[in-house]
Amino acid sequence: MRSKTLIRALLALPAAHLPRPGRESARAGFVAGLYLAGTLALWLPVAAAAWYLERRLGTGELVTGYALLVFTFVLAAFNLRKRLPALPLGSARAWKRAHLAIGAIATALYVQHAGSPYPMGRYEQLLALVFCAVVVSGLLGDFLQRLLPRRLTDVGGEVIFERIPAEIATLREQAEALVLASVREAGSGALSQYYVESLDWYFRRPRFLLSHLTGGNRGGRWIRDQISALRRYLDEREGRALDQIEALALRKNQLDAHYVLQGALKLWLFVHVPAGMLLVALACWHLLVLHIYAL
Amino acid sequence: MKSERSFRHEKIVYERPSDRYRCGRALLWRKPCWQGPDPAGACQGQSDCAPARIGDRWECRRPKVAGGKCSEGPKPDGRCPHTHPPCVPRPALRRWRGRAASLALLVVVLVFLIGVDPAVPWAVNPAALDAGELASSHAGFTREHGCGTCHASHRAEGLAWVASAFRANDPSGKCVDCHDFAGPPALVHNATFADRADVGTISCVRCHSEHKGAAARLSQVPDHVCGNCHRRSFDNFAAAHPPFDERYPYRRPGRIYFDHVRHAEKHFVDPKVRARSRAVAEFAAEAKAKCTVCHEVQGATREVAPRPYEKICGTCHDRDVVNGELNVLEPGQLTVMASLLLGMEKDGDEEANAKRLAELWQAVARDGGRALAALVAEAAGRKPAAEELFRGLATQLLRDLGSAWGAKRGLQAGAKEGSPGWGVRDNAEGRPALVYVPAAHGDPVLKAWIDFAAAAARGAEDPRRAIAADALEQLLDKDAVGACGKCHGAALRAASPLEFERAWKRPPASAAPHSRFSHAPHLELLDPDAGCGKCHELKADSGYAKYFSAKPGKPQPYQSNFAGIRKEVCVECHQKGRVDSACQVCHAYHLPHRFKLGFRMKGGRS
């Protein structure tokens, strides 16, 4: 079941899972075609010019090199665009599509430019490694951005990532209040003892992170196991309190899933953005050294 | 979780993703304060609010998102009664990301780009300029001066170094400091081509890429590089290389008339030939079976040279070479040699001829060889030739002969008939004649007479030229003394005066500087005794002899008695998956290469 979800996510176009009326679907296809045509229109002339020059003992690598530099700056500008949301620079969605298209062109041009997958020079090796890091992290990020929003939709609800700690704290307070009320009303310490021994651990912070990341439901099963094991020792009044605590635990389980999935959507950028900045710096250095020593 | 309302968006302070710090309580999974950290990262949540003084009273300013105004209200001194221990705000994710990027950049700049040598703190680290290891052939002599050996801009410092990026820095100019070729180094193929005026100069680095590792072979370039200029570009020898010329590689005749077909198929199997002697029979039998009997395969490169005459041809032909004698001077008769020396035609005025001869006999009787030397100088314009023409001839013998000829008497022969060298023989009238018998192959006197006649036939004026031409033909006749013309005739007839010396010798290997072939590795693969025929196939009906036996003034086109080598023969081995078939296996781009003197002094000291 999980693999089917994964395959669907890989094959799906952005937001293709959402039901669309026919006209909107046609428009999306037109836009996708437009981007594809734009990608080819950008890539083919550069690649062909470089190929032609190389076949004439010309400096074809200069064409691909300068094109790569320009594309690298355009790709890096996506980060600036996100910092300037107020400026009318086009939608983030359009920028992202352009980012992907130009990234694909840059990768193809890099292969043509470098020739060898592992250059001999040390700074060129670093440049190649950084380029690979940017490409691989970018592909991973795109994959996550196609897969995880669907998973978040499946989990249900919406919550701002930065607000999750506060939400967990609120749920914890509510659960503790229910336990205290139950002790006061029922005069039994079974629920409170159980809460201290087991549920308190669960409400402290997000749990079962790996299970949520891989699409599992260990958290839900754990809650059901704990609740059903305790229920036989409780009277009717404590049982009602336990029902409310179970509902809070299930909400917490959803928050945990949001925390992990939204976190994953942010964490890949910890590789992609720094590596991208490094790539810009090393590309500029490469250009300078090339002009000083070889052109 | 089921709706936005359940999260009380309207009651919670707006979270700004671009905030640089986050509340430390949230990171401990507790409720964050409503104020959040200030932009500098200081905690602002030590109290629930900052009460405001209205007149003489303090009013609570706790917002609704934090529970609204408290029941207790501010303390008399204006402080909030709800205090909390301060938290330690932490940077937000975006700030961590920025820090990671800055750190990566800083590490690269500090460790990689900026020099780590404390003595030169701002020098660029060599690693930041490392374009890859040099080929082993270059690594040695660049060790002392490093990059500056080839890259002039490397020696600039500071801003000048950066500014050099805006100048031309093609390192090819430095290549020719050490490398020299038989033609202009910058020209394509080091030569000019009449039919390719569009091809001019080219930078070395377009074909030779350095910094590809110690094991890289700079001289080897991929086939498609050749295709950059050559109209027919291909990278598959077997499928696309043009077929060889039908006469390849036998377009030009050799300097020796040697008919391989007649020798292999007629002479070597002729019972009469084999009956001459046991040595001849053995040689003929071996030579018929093995090419290596005549051709020296040891150390063979472009050509497989034949063994010396004495070891192969002489076995059968020595008796032709030493057979007969050259009748040089004879009283009462104008020999061919006398005619050549005196410049007198045989069918000229008999009385004048007789008078001239009589004068000559007197001069010879008086001056010996000097009289003949004067004649030679007059005929050929060069004195030393007389020494070559009459080498070994005793002066006394000449004087005696001159006296005998002048007195019209006989002379006792001094040498046994048929013995090599100069001698005296009685002619039909019983009068003595000066004759020469060649000693062996390459006899210098006989060779000198042929050269003398050939030079006069080219350089003298009529009628001496016609006389010399006639003499040359007689000397080069296949039945003439020494039988020189039998093998050398065609080459000598075709040679200009300056080429006579070379015409006697075997020509050097074919001068095709842009192609290369070595027999050695092929002979290692084939049976050297019988494998030559794999490529060199005899062609019985070629008309090879016509060129060599053509009459003067009626030259015949040359046809080899070998069939042209076909590309398919090479393809049997040289194809993908077998033996390398790259362009450079058989073709050389450059003209012959040599190093310039003092190339080891590169780097500014030379």
Q: What is the DSSP secondary-structure string of A120-157? A: SSHHHHHHHHHHHHHHHHHHHHHHHHHHHHHHHHHH--
pLDDT at residue A10 above 50? no
Nearest CA in chain B to A265: B93
Q: Is B108 on the interface with A (CB under 8 A)?
A: yes
Model pLDDT, residue B528: 65
Nearest CA in chain A to B169: A295
pLDDT at residue B347 above 90? no
User: Which stretch of A263-272, B373-382, B490-499 has the lowest confidence by average pLDDT?
Assistant: B373-382
Distance from B162 to chain A by nearest Cα, in Å? 7
CB A245 within 8 A of CB B72: no
- Using a pLDDT cut of 90, give the percent of chain B over it: 15
Q: Is A293 on the interface with B (CB under 8 A)?
A: yes
Put simply, the answer to whether B165 touches A288 (Cβ < 8 Å) is yes
Put simply, the answer to whether A120 touches B132 (Cβ < 8 Å) is yes
| pLDDT band of B555, cuts 50, 70, 90 | confident
Q: Is B237 exposed, middle or buried (0-12, 13-18, 19+ CB in 10 A)?
A: buried
Q: Is A283 on the interface with B (CB under 8 A)?
A: no
Q: Which residue has the higher pLDDT, A83 or B154?
A: B154
In chain B, which residues have their Cβ closer than 8 Å to the Cβ of A248? Answer: none
| pLDDT band of B10, cuts 50, 70, 90 | low
Model pLDDT, residue B364: 83
**Which pLDDT tens digit goes with each residue over B41-83?**
999 999 999 999 998 899 999 888 888 889 989 999 999 999 9
In chain B, which residues have their Cβ closer than 8 Å to the Cβ of A163? Answer: 7, 12, 15
Nearest CA in chain B to A257: B1
CB B463 within 8 A of CB B343: yes
Query: Which segments within B97-170 are labelled E, that is strand?
Result: none
Closest by CA to B164, choosing from A210, A295, A30, is A295
| pLDDT band of B443, cuts 50, 70, 90 | very high
What are the structure tokens assigned to B486, written together?
């039998």
In chain B, which residues have their Cβ closer than 8 Å to the Cβ of A170? Answer: 31
User: Which stretch of A137-146, B120-129, B144-153, B434-443 has the lowest confidence by average pLDDT?
Assistant: B120-129
Gap between the Cα atoms of A30 and B278, Å rounded: 97
Across A248-274, average pLDDT: 94
Put simply, the answer to whether B211 touches A168 (Cβ < 8 Å) is no
* Residue A33: partners with Cβ closer than 8 Å, 6 or more residues away: none
Residues in B 289-328 with any Cβ partner in A closer than 8 A: none
In chain A, which residues have their Cβ closer than 8 Å to the Cβ of B154? Answer: 292-293
CB B225 within 8 A of CB B202: no
Gap between the Cα atoms of A179 and A194, Å rounded: 10
pLDDT at residue A13 above 50? no
Model pLDDT, residue B162: 87
| pLDDT band of B4, cuts 50, 70, 90 | very low
Distance from A27 to chain B by nearest Cα, in Å? 31
Calculate the average pLDDT of chain B.
83
CB B305 within 8 A of CB B296: yes
Across A54-71, average pLDDT: 87
Q: Is B111 on the interface with A (CB under 8 A)?
A: no
- Run of H or E including A271: helix A269-293
Put simply, the answer to whether A162 touches B15 (Cβ < 8 Å) is yes
- Cis bond before residue B463 (omega within 30° of 0): yes
Put simply, the answer to whether B127 touches A167 (Cβ < 8 Å) is no
Put simply, the answer to whether A168 touches B29 (Cβ < 8 Å) is yes
Cross-chain CB nearest to A251 (options B1, B17, B104): B1
Put simply, the answer to whether A165 touches B202 (Cβ < 8 Å) is no
Nearest CA in chain B to A52: B228
Gap between the Cα atoms of B513 and B589, Å rounded: 9
Gap between the Cα atoms of B119 and B111, Å rounded: 15
Calculate the average pLDDT of chain A.
87
Burial profile A247-256: b = 16 or more Cβ within 10 angstroms, e = fewer: ebbbbbbbbb
Q: Which residue has the higher pLDDT, B305 or A209?
A: A209
Q: Is A255 on the interface with B (CB under 8 A)?
A: yes
User: Which stretch of A127-141, A195-209, A249-263, B208-222 has the lowest confidence by average pLDDT?
Assistant: B208-222
Model pLDDT, residue A25: 80
Distance from B517 to chain A by nearest Cα, in Å? 27
pLDDT at residue B352 above 60? yes
Model pLDDT, residue A250: 95
Put simply, the answer to whether A292 touches B164 (Cβ < 8 Å) is yes
pLDDT at residue B602 above 50? no
Model pLDDT, residue A168: 94
Cross-chain CB nearest to B31 (options A157, A166, A255): A166
**Which pLDDT tens digit goes with each residue over B119-156?**
555 567 778 888 888 998 888 878 777 888 888 888 88
Model pLDDT, residue B172: 87
In chain A, which residues have their Cβ closer than 8 Å to the Cβ of B164? Answer: 292
Q: Is B163 on the interface with A (CB under 8 A)?
A: no
| pLDDT band of B598, cuts 50, 70, 90 | low
Distances (CA, A) of B256 to B11, B200, B485, B562: 113, 41, 10, 15
Distance from A267 to chain B by nearest Cα, in Å? 9
Put simply, the answer to whether A281 touches B170 (Cβ < 8 Å) is no
CB A65 within 8 A of CB A288: no
User: In 3-state terms, what secondary structure has residue B270?
Assistant: coil
Beta-bridge partners for B426: B432
Model pLDDT, residue B36: 87
In chain B, which residues have their Cβ closer than 8 Å to the Cβ of A127? Answer: none
Model pLDDT, residue B379: 67
Gap between the Cα atoms of B602 and B606, Å rounded: 6
Distance from A82 to chain B by nearest Cα, in Å? 11
Dump the DSSP string for A228-261.
HHHHTTS-HHHHHHHHHHHHHHHHHHHHHHHHHH
Gap between the Cα atoms of B261 and B266, Å rounded: 8
- Using a pLDDT cut of 70, give the percent of chain B over it: 89
pLDDT at residue B534 above 90? no
What are the structure tokens assigned to A194, written together?
């159980």
User: Which stretch of B194-198, B499-503, B541-545 has the lowest confidence by average pLDDT?
Assistant: B194-198
Q: Which residue has the higher pLDDT, A84 or B42?
A: B42
| pLDDT band of A11, cuts 50, 70, 90 | very low
Cross-chain CB nearest to A274 (options B101, B133, B211): B101
| pLDDT band of B2, cuts 50, 70, 90 | very low
Q: Is A229 on the interface with B (CB under 8 A)?
A: no
Q: Which residue has the higher pLDDT, B396 or A244?
A: A244
| pLDDT band of B6, cuts 50, 70, 90 | low
Give me the count of residues in chain A: 295
Model pLDDT, residue B415: 57
Model pLDDT, residue B119: 59
Cross-chain CB nearest to A121 (options B101, B132, B161): B132
pLDDT at residue A43 above 70? yes
Neighbours of B322 (CB within 10 A): 19
In chain A, which residues have their Cβ closer than 8 Å to the Cβ of B100? Answer: 270, 273-274
- Using a pLDDT cut of 90, give the percent of chain A over it: 55
Mutate which: B97, B151, B230, B589, vs A, most A CBs within 10 A: B97
What are the structure tokens assigned to B370, written together?
């000097």
* Residue B482: partners with Cβ closer than 8 Å, 6 or more residues away: B321, B322, B324, B326, B438, B443, B446
In chain A, which residues have their Cβ closer than 8 Å to the Cβ of B31? Answer: 165-166, 169-170, 173
Put simply, the answer to whether B129 touches A123 (Cβ < 8 Å) is yes
Distances (CA, A) of B505 to B125, B292, B499, B501: 63, 21, 10, 7
User: Which stretch of B201-210, B220-229, B286-295 has the lowest confidence by average pLDDT?
Assistant: B220-229
| pLDDT band of B517, cuts 50, 70, 90 | confident
Nearest CA in chain A to B33: A166
Question: Which pTM value belongs to this model?
Answer: 0.70
Distance from A154 to chain B by nearest Cα, in Å? 12
Distance from A120 to chain B by nearest Cα, in Å? 4
Distance from A37 to chain B by nearest Cα, in Å? 31
pLDDT at residue A222 above 60? yes
